[in-house]
Chain A
Amino acid sequence: MTDLAQSDLKRLVLHDLHVSLGGKMVPFAGYDMPVQYPAGVMTEHLHTRAAAGLFDVSHMGQVILRPHGDMAALVAAFEALMPVDVAGLAEGRQRYGLFTNETGGILDDLMFANRGDHLFVVVNAACKEADVAHMTAHLSAVAEVEHITDRALLALQGPMAEAALAAWVPGVAEMRFMDVRVFDTGFGPMWVSRSGYTGEDGFEISVPESGAMDLARALLSTEGVMPIGLGARDSLRLEAGLCLYGHDIDTTTSPVEAGLTWAIQKVRRTGGARAGDFPGAARILREMDHGPERLRVGLSPQTRAPMREGTQLFDPDGTPLGEVTSGGFGPSVQAPIAMGYVAASHATPGTALEGEVRGKRMAVTVTPLPFHPTTYKR
């Protein structure tokens, strides 16, 4: 294995800002990204929960689906790619979605928004080329699939996010969780959603690259806002019990095993008006109706030793049960935390398991998710 040469890494439009802020740059999904700033992961994490954190997530994919004719034809075609209710999403609202494959695994997880005459989709960086190809293959007959590459994406998260963004864009204060709106601003047309991936209230902001530097500097100059790297983004989402694609979910895990059935609305479930008719429906609906063989669970190691990704999990009698898919230390809960898959028979909160750390079996308990309560503004 060789590391990507620095020159092969793509640079974010805010690259120079990250470097000037003292960001420690690392390769991530083909981009040169700040993993932390001088404050460090712990401080950045706690600051986001206490005030507001600014994250550069411009590496993520932004896609517009513009119908050739009728919106309804696009909605129906997009709904055929996911076990999710697309038709029921009101204009100005966003929803969590999942592209599934024929065997019921997850190709990617995403956010999609109904913006009246088109859909706006945000996908994971590592999957974006494949997602665009997937959407192009399945939606070209009814819509233009437009991969937006001239916009940055910023996330502003935490209890002071509303005040900080409203200082520049007053209208955002009226938005509720998962609302989307477009604002004409001095930074260019801003596409704002009240969402994020930290468990905190906050916003994701798509802004033209030409206005991104000024917007980032403006937000960083606002009371309570600090730049946050990928390290804290990971610990924040883990505490919030949110899945990281390629780790907690992938092409082998079904949405049911992953505990994402809340994302499958009633209308797409057995007995619903538009039940099934999405890739992998046979497995996904069977697992919903009869229970999956394994489940994603929260895990609280009972010693101070973190259980990292790949830690093998066992019944106290020694039977292998599964493994950790994300694990580390939760700065807000001040304890090691993890998520992983275990046999459904051992997935009830409170179940005592063991995880193997450096050759030793250590006690770990199945725990409800999230580890830290979410504070979305519903």
Chain B
Amino acid sequence: MKYTKEHEWMRVEGDLVVVGITEHAATQLGDVVFVELPETETMVAEGDEVCVIESVKAASDILAPLDGEIVEVNTKLVDKPALVNEDPTGEAWFFKMKIDDLAALDDYMDEDEYADFIG
């Protein structure tokens, strides 16, 4: 798994990249009550705001970690936002992206580096 400074994780699945938020991010957000997902077949650029997550406390965005196309979204999160707190790195993935070159992931933190990053 690879990690961004925005507390998102990325996992390669075949030729796709699965994206979610880390346990640390889910804990910081608190109880998630609303998730807004992007449309599929959308081209996005790194840093674009593609999802909205709202906790009891506040709203925050999920950014596209890479340039590419959103090909699948996890509609289960719309009906059950609490999954984000229950299983952030498993069942609560947000979207899958098709990117040109999986080597783009090499620039991101690995698990140990992310653990250091969050202290």
Q: Top 7 closest A-B pairs, CB basis?
A: A42-B31, A329-B33, A41-B56, A304-B34, A329-B56, A306-B54, A40-B30
Taking the closest CB of chain A, its distance from the CB of B26, in whole angstroms, is: 11
Task: Determine which of B34, B36, B52, B55 lies in contact with A336 in the assembled complex, contact meaning CB atoms within 8 Å.
Answer: B34
In the assembly, what is the distance between CA of A41 and CA of B81, in Å?
Answer: 15
Within 8 A of B (CB), among A154-206: none
Chain A binding surface, main DSSP class: mixed
A231→B57 contact, CB < 8 A: yes
Give Cα A306 to B52, complex, Å: 11
20 new A-B pairs (CB below 8 Å) besides A41-B30, A41-B57?
A35-B57, A40-B30, A41-B31, A42-B31, A42-B56, A43-B31, A231-B30, A231-B57, A304-B33, A304-B34, A304-B81, A305-B34, A305-B36, A305-B52, A308-B58, A328-B57, A329-B34, A331-B31, A331-B56, A336-B33
Contact assessment for A358 and B52 in the assembled complex, using a CB-CB cutoff below 8 Å: yes
Q: In this assembly, does A326 line the interface, its C-beta being within 8 Å of a C-beta of chain B?
A: no
A interface, CB within 8 angstroms of B:
35-36, 40-43, 45, 231, 235, 304-306, 308, 328-329, 331, 336, 358
Interface extent on B, as a size class?
10 to 19
A residues within 8 A CB of B31? 40-43, 331
B54 x A329 contact (CB < 8 A): yes
Asked whether A235 lies within 8 Å of B54 as measured between CB atoms, the reply is no
A162 to chain B, nearest CB (A): 27
Q: Which B residues are CB-close (under 8 A) to A45?
A: 56
Q: Give 27 A-B contacts (CB < 8 Å), ordered by A residue.
A: A41-B30, A41-B55, A41-B56, A42-B30, A42-B31, A42-B56, A43-B31, A231-B30, A235-B56, A304-B33, A304-B34, A304-B78, A304-B81, A305-B36, A305-B52, A306-B33, A306-B34, A306-B54, A306-B59, A308-B58, A308-B59, A328-B56, A328-B57, A329-B33, A329-B54, A336-B33, A358-B52
Q: Chain B nearest CB: distance from A306 CB in Å?
A: 5
Closest residue to B82 on the A side, CB-wise? A42
Chain A nearest CB from B76 CB (Å) reads 14
Q: How far is the CB of A345 from chain B (nearest CB, A)?
A: 30
Closest CB of chain A to B58's CB: distance in Å?
8
Q: How far is the CA of A328 from the CA of B30 in the complex (A)?
A: 13
**Residue picked from B30, B31, B56, most chain A C-beta under 10 Å:** B56
A182 to B40, CA, bound (A): 64
Contacts of A40 in B (CB 8 A): 30-31, 56
- Which residues of B, 10-66, contact A by the 8 Å Cβ criterion? 30-31, 33-34, 36, 52, 54-59
Residue ID in chain B nearest A329 by CB atoms:
B33
Most central of B33, B36, B55, B58 by chain A CB within 10 Å: B33
